[in-house]
């Protein structure tokens, strides 16, 4: 059985202030030049085709840590999947616990990104998402199968 490595995404939304579409190092350079002093930068290979970059900065508002995952989407062993809180659309479970819930032999979670805003009372995400070919839209009461 082929082992599939999976990156779990909790509806990735790029709202970090980094310029979209730029390679990581260029985005870091443009971000850091106007927002603070870089104090540490490194890269860590997480799995074949997956590298994590870390950047630590001192900013006028205090220390800041930025993490980026570069993923080779041409690697057939890697899939990108959305995560669910306690197996449900609505909820407030840490990404590490969502990852642990689906991590098993042949389905190894190697990274997770918490990337959406949600209603802090109900845990319902404010934006739509796709999970296992189902689309979820918090603004409509029904779930539709994506074709």
pLDDT of 41 strictly over 90:
yes
| Contact present, 81 and 112 (Cβ < 8 Å) | no
Q: Dump the DSSP string for 14-63.
A: --SSSPTTS-HHHHHHHHHHHH-EEEEEEEEEEETTEEEEEEEEEETTEE
User: Rounded to whole angstroms, how far apart are CA atoms 40 and 127?
Assistant: 34
pLDDT at position 53: 93
pLDDT digits (tens, 9 = 90+) for 49-82: 999 999 999 999 999 998 899 999 999 999 888 8
Full 3-state SS string of 77-124? CEEEEECCECCECCCCCCHHHHHHHHCECCEEEEEEEECCCECCCCCC
CB atoms within 10 A of CB 131: 15
User: Domain count of the chain?
Assistant: 1
Range of the domain at 14: 4-145
| Contact present, 147 and 135 (Cβ < 8 Å) | no
Q: Cα torsion for 11, 15, 16, 20, to the nearest 10°?
A: 100
Kindly state the average pLDDT of the residues 96-102.
Answer: 91
pLDDT of 6 strictly over 50:
no
User: Rounded to whole angstroms, how far apart are CA atoms 9 and 82?
Assistant: 4
pLDDT at position 85: 85
Question: Of the candidates 74, 81, 22, which has an alpha carbon nearest to the alpha carbon of residue 48?
Answer: 74
Model pTM greater than 0.75?
no
């Amino acid at each position: 059985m082929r082992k599939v490595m999976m990156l779990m995404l909790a509806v990735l939304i790029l709202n970090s202030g980094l310029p979209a579409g730029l390679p990581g190092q260029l985005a870091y350079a443009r971000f850091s030049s106007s927002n603070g002093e870089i104090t540490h930068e490194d890269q860590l290979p997480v799995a074949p085709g997956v590298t994590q970059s870390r950047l630590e900065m001192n900013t006028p508002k205090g220390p800041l840590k930025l993490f980026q995952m570069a993923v080779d989407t041409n690697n057939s062993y890697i899939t990108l999947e959305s995560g669910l809180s306690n197996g449900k659309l609505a909820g407030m479970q840490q990404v590490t616990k969502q990852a642990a819930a689906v991590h098993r032999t042949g389905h190894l979670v190697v990274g997770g990104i918490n990337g959406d805003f949600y209603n802090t009372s109900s845990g319902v995400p404010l934006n739509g998402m796709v999970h296992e070919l189902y689309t979820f839209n918090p603004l409509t009461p029904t779930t539709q199968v994506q074709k």
